[in-house]
Structure 1
Amino acid sequence: MVEMLDKLTKSQEAIVRDLGLGPILALKCTDIPTPLVLLLATYYDPASRSVKLPNGASFRIDAITSHLVLGIPYGGIKVPTKSSNRAKAVILKDTNQSNQAAKLNDLMSMINRNLEGDKFARIFMLIVLGIFLCPSSSSRVSHRYYEAISVVSNIKTYDWSSAVADCMHNGILSFHSNTCKGNITGKATLSGCSSF
């Protein structure tokens, strides 16, 4: 992700800022220690949506925390998670797909100096959501956010902070469920933005 951000042109960076995601351009961290992420996930209390450390300290995994840490849009319209046929058609056309979601690696290779405008914005959002803000274990992008990114001028009006916090919460719930079934690493099911 950092490598991709470093290669963006000034006009592409301006588009990212217009999307309300300018702070992501400053991302420099290339590695999040997996043991730390897994440890914090084990201390997560789903009822309070907080990480409660053994020393009594705690912090919430919520929209405000997401906004403060990542600088992404907070408040506004709830991010739609069901896509219309129109939105699917727009994204499939942009990603050169006929009927299935694009692979993240294929999208990354589409980012070049010539990719501009709304198509760049949508491809960028698919990548950022798929590998940073709301990642999963799939190598393909999720169709979950197609509706929200199909009309580029609307992207900044959505409450991305809540969407990211909810994704993290659900990912940790899945991790907890998996560890209760005997998988102590939980690596296959821990998803969500580990940078926040």
Structure 2
Amino acid sequence: MEITNYKKREGQEILCTDISTKSNKKYKWQNSEYTRIFLEALSTLPESRKLIIRKLGFGSILTFSCFSNVQVIFEWLISQFDTTSATLSLEDGFNFTLCSHSTHMILGFPAGPKAVVRTESIECSDFIMNIVKTKSPTVEHLCSLLSTDLNEDSFTVIFMLLLLTAFIDPNASGVASPAYYPNLKDISSIPSLDWCSFTLDCLLRAIKKYLFRKKQNIELESGGCKILLVISYFEFLITSEFNLGNSVPRLPLWTTHVVNSYIALDSQQGHSKGFGRLVRKHITSTPFKGSKQQIEMPSEIKDYMELKFQKIALFQFSEFLEQFKEG
């Protein structure tokens, strides 16, 4: 049975449909709109509220200002992405595996020792409802609460609900999921949770769902933190137009202008591949150089480096012998 609900949000009609596996109905929604609403709400916060967010460990989101449409390049990337290993494998042999470390380098979110859980409980639902005053808090409703007179704990809960619903794991309805409520019951534990692994896991789940629906000829925008995958790829591209330095987290550096420019520079006009025009650098020249994954250099480069260093070592040794003789 198919259930369709229409909801009006800022003059935009959003069609939310519960689709059976045999249906070819299309979704009409854009979760990037929720991200925009969230980021714009954050930009208006007073410094005292921003300080709370920084104390939680999510300060990088306060200076993130990217409103680019990354759907096309995201679809190109996930067409070459293995969700089981979280590995991007391009046709030219380029490989990169996303992990908690690389996610932390980009987002700068806490990567604590405790896992973020997905479970629902009546107790936690009641706890959240007492703060947000509704069973189904939308992004718009939560943003409206940010400007009200809240104590620090209530503000923290609302901010985290927004971060989850509009950035970490955005969904079609723009409504906070009760499955994440237990993580917010103890405010003091939030910085000790592994939000990086959780964000990556949400992305992998969203990509799996998107690819499954695509096989069913169902058109929809993927959920998950798409900008995470896009930035991960962009960090490997070599271009003379930008020098983003080595500072971390990387998220604030990727503004609308920078992201749009990279999309344009890497696009292959009139080419079936779509993207992949720019040359890519080795992982040791990226912010991910501390990653545990091993990426092999091409054999010709490795041989050249070994020969080069061998010559340098021999030269330095001969100089030492000459100095020893003179002494």
- Does the aligned pair in 2 maintain the 1:79–1:163 contact within 8 Å? yes
Residues 1:112 and 2:150 aligned together: no
Deviations 1:110-144 (A, max 9, x none): 11163340111100110111011111112211112
Residue aligning to 1:136: 171
Counterpart pick for 1:39 among 69, 72, 76: 76
Match of 2:131 in 1: 94
* Preserved CA contact (<8 Å) 2:112 2:191: no
Q: What SS does the aligned partner of 2:88 have?
A: strand
Q: Give 1:195's aligned amino acid.
A: I
% identical equivalent positions: 27
Q: Which amino acid aligns with 2:116?
A: V
1:2-17 equivalences under 5 Å are 2-17=39-54
Asked whether the equivalents of residues 130 and 142 of structure 1 are also in contact (C-alpha less than 8 Å), the reply is yes
Q: Which runs of 5+ in 2 are unaligned?
A: 1-37, 229-327
Q: Distance in 1 between matches of 2:153 and 2:136?
A: 18
Which moves more between the two structures, 105-114 or 153-162?
105-114
What's the secondary structure of 2:162's corresponding residue? helix
Query: Any runs of at least 4 consecutive aligned residues in structure 1 with deviations exceeding 4 A, and if so which?
Result: none
Counting matched residue pairs gives 191
Tell me the SS of whatever aligns to 2:133: coil
* Deviation of the 1:58 alpha carbon: 2.6
Q: TM-score, normalised on structure 2?
A: 0.56
The amino acid across from 2:183 in the alignment is A
Structure 1 counterpart of 2:217, which letter?
A: G
Distance 2:198 2:136 in 1: 20
Aligned AA for 1:169?
L
Offset at residue 172 of structure 1 (A) = 0.5
Report the equivalent of 1:80.
117
Query: Aligned partner of 1:193: which letter?
Result: C
Give the TM-score of the pair, scaled to structure 1. 0.90
Contact persistence 1:32–1:195 (CA under 8 A): no
CA contact (8 A) 1:61 1:169 kept: no
Partner of 1:58: 95
The match for 1:156 is 191
Q: 2:227 corresponds to which letter in structure 1?
A: S
Say yes or no: does 1:166 pair with 2:201: yes
Specify whether residues 115 and 30 from structure 1 end up closer, same or farther in structure 2 by C-alpha distance, changes over 3 A only.
farther
Q: Pick from 49, 60, 63 the counterpart of residue 86 of structure 2.
A: 49
Between 2-11 and 159-168, report the one with greater CA deviation.
2-11
Instruction: Please say if 1:103 is aligned against 2:138.
Output: yes
Instruction: Report if aligned partners of 1:62, 1:166 keep a CA contact under 8 Å in 2.
Output: no
RMSD: 1.6
| 1:192 aligned residue | 224
CA distance in 2, matches of 1:186, 1:56: 29
Q: Distance in 2 between matches of 1:91 and 1:58?
A: 42
Return the offset for 1:158: 0.5
Which is bigger in relative contact order (C-alpha 8 A, separation at least 6)? Answer: 1
